[in-house]
Amino acid sequence: MKKVINYLYIILLFITSIFFVSAKSNPYPKMEENIFGGEIINCTWYAWQQAKDRMGVELPLWYYVETWYSKAEKAGYSVGKEPKKDSLMVWDYGEGWGGHVSYVVEVEGDTVYYIEGGSPMTEDGINSGYLNMDEMSSFLVGFIYLDQVPTPKKETPTNNKTETTPKPVETPKSSNNYLKELNLSTGIIEFNKDTLEYNIEVPNEVEELTITSIPEDEKSTITGNDTYQLQEGQNKITITVKAENEEVKEYILNVTRQVKVIEEEKENESQDSIKEEPSENNRIKLNKKIIISIIVGTVLFTILIIILALTIHKNHKKK
113-123: average pLDDT? 92
Matching CATH number, 2-145, of 3.65.10.10, 3.90.1720.10, 3.50.50.60, 3.30.420.40? 3.90.1720.10
Is 2-145's fold the same as 179-257's? no
Mean pLDDT of the chain: 83
Q: 6-15, 41-50, 128-137: which range is least confident on average? A: 6-15
What ranges do the domains of the chain cover?
A: 2-145, 179-257
Using the predicted structure, report yes or no on whether residue 94 has a pLDDT greater than 60: yes
171-177: average pLDDT? 91
152-161: average pLDDT? 56
What is residue 267's predicted lDDT score, i.e. its pLDDT? 63
What is residue 271's predicted lDDT score, i.e. its pLDDT? 64
Measure the CA–CA gap between 187 and 258, rounded to whole angstroms. Answer: 12
26 exposure class (CB count in 10 Å sphere: 0-12, 13-18, 19+): buried
Which amino acid is residue 264, in one-letter code? Answer: E
Q: Which fold has domain 179-257?
A: Immunoglobulin-like (2.60.40)
pTM of the model: 0.43
Q: Residue 294 CA to chain centroid, in angstroms?
A: 92
225-245: average pLDDT? 95
DSSP labels, 225-267 = -SEEEPPSEEEEEEEEEE-TTS-EEEEEEEEEEPPPPPHHHHH
What is residue 68's predicted lDDT score, i.e. its pLDDT? 94
Per the model's pLDDT, the better-predicted residue between 111 and 153 turns out to be 111
**pLDDT band per the 50, 70, 90 thresholds, residue 98:** confident
- Side-chain half-sphere CA neighbours of 175 within 13 A: 1
What is residue 270's predicted lDDT score, i.e. its pLDDT? 62
Burial 107-136 (b: 16+ CB within 10 A, else e): beeeebebbbbbbeeeeebebeeebeeeeb
Q: What is the pLDDT of residues 121-145, one digit of tens each?
A: 898 999 999 999 998 888 899 999 9
Using the predicted structure, report yes or no on whether residue 6 has a pLDDT greater than 80: no
What is residue 278's predicted lDDT score, i.e. its pLDDT? 53
- Side-chain half-sphere CA neighbours of 101 within 13 A: 26
**pLDDT band per the 50, 70, 90 thresholds, residue 17:** very low
What is the maximum span of the chain, computed from C-alpha positions, in angstroms? 193
What is residue 218's predicted lDDT score, i.e. its pLDDT? 92
Q: 11-15, 34-38, 177-181: which range is least confident on average? A: 11-15
Q: What is the pLDDT of residues 245-287, one digit of tens each?
A: 999 999 999 999 999 876 556 666 666 655 555 566 777 777 8
Percent of the chain with pLDDT over 90: 54
217 exposure class (CB count in 10 Å sphere: 0-12, 13-18, 19+): middle
